[in-house]
């Protein structure tokens, strides 16, 4: 199991990075992405601290910790600028909080994130086919979410990604230890979204690639 979208107390999670990483290791995860919420006001504070936590833990733990950030409710016109800044600060994963069906995310956020070439568009809701086709062209992964609320559009995301050739990831969006899942339950979420075995294999390979494990080419 690889999970590339989680939160620590540097945003609205409940654990410090080291405990979240250790809990992922104990659960048998191969890699975990620490992608706390940030906007223009917190980006420069959060990313370096997540980078340091991942570097130190990677020196002594089996699970690979990947430093990232989730740009959240950032105005669409600013997403490209702050995605680039996140990378300059050391974020290996740039995630954007997509147009979830349960939050008032500004319309146009999905498109701006894809145009910026971020790594993952999280819980993109009723993502449009034209946006999914652009995501396929730019290598932006669309997220299947295990988190309640955000998961309501999983079937639509999976079907649209399949029709348009876009890559998929499956993440927990964990904010607390109880949100983490193992590989068996991840398969349940994937199959519930309408993915078949071939889709699951492609998704897993893509997540290995994003985590830097070398499995996805």
In this prediction, residue 24 carries a pLDDT of 97
Proportion of the chain in helix, strand, coil states, percent, rounded to 5: 45, 15, 35
In this prediction, residue 217 carries a pLDDT of 37
pLDDT, one tens digit for every residue, the chain (217 residues):
999 999 999 999 999 999 999 999 999 999 999 999 999 999 999 999 999 999 999 999 999 999 999 999 999 999 999 999 999 999 999 999 999 999 999 999 999 999 999 999 999 999 999 999 999 999 999 999 999 999 999 999 999 999 999 999 999 999 999 999 999 999 999 999 999 999 999 999 999 999 999 744 3
Given the structure tokens 């050739």, which residue do they identify?
Answer: 165
In this prediction, residue 52 carries a pLDDT of 98
Element housing 71 (H / E): strand 64-71
Q: Of 37, 41, 27, give the one whose Cα is nearest residue 69.
A: 37
In this prediction, residue 216 carries a pLDDT of 41
Bridge partners of 66, per DSSP, are: 33
In this prediction, residue 6 carries a pLDDT of 98
pTM over cut 0.85? yes
In this prediction, residue 130 carries a pLDDT of 98
The C-alpha torsion from 10 through 142 and 183 to 32, rounded to 10°, is -30
Sign (positive/negative) of CA torsion 97, 104, 160, 144? Answer: positive
Distance CA 58, CA 75 (A): 34
In this prediction, residue 183 carries a pLDDT of 94
Contact 53, 65 (CB under 8 A): yes
Q: Enumerate domains of the chain plus CATH numbers.
A: 2-211 (3.20.20.140)
């Amino acid at each position: 199991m690889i999970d590339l979208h989680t939160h620590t107390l540097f945003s609205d999670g409940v654990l410090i990075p080291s405990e979240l990483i250790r809990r992922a290791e104990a659960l048998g995860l191969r890699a975990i992405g620490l992608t706390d919420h940030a906007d223009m006001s917190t980006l420069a504070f959060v990313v370096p601290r997540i980078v340091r936590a991942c570097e130190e833990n990677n020196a002594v733990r089996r699970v690979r910790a990947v430093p990232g950030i989730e740009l959240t409710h950032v105005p669409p016109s600013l997403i490209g600028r702050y995605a680039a800044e996140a990378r300059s600060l050391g974020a290996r994963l740039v995630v954007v909080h997509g147009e979830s069906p349960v939050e008032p995310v500004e319309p146009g956020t999905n498109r701006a994130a894809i145009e910026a070439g971020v790594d993952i568009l999280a819980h993109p809701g009723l993502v449009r086919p034209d946006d999914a086709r652009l995501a396929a062209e730019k290598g932006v992964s669309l997220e299947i979410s295990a988190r309640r609320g955000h998961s309501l559009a999983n079937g639509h995301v999976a079907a649209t990604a399949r029709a348009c050739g876009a890559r998929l990831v499956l993440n927990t969006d964990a904010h607390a230890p109880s949100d983490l899942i193992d590989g068996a339950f991840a398969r349940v979420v994937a199959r519930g979204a309408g993915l078949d075995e071939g889709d699951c294999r492609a998704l897993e390979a893509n997540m290995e690639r994003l985590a830097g494990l070398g499995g996805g080419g």
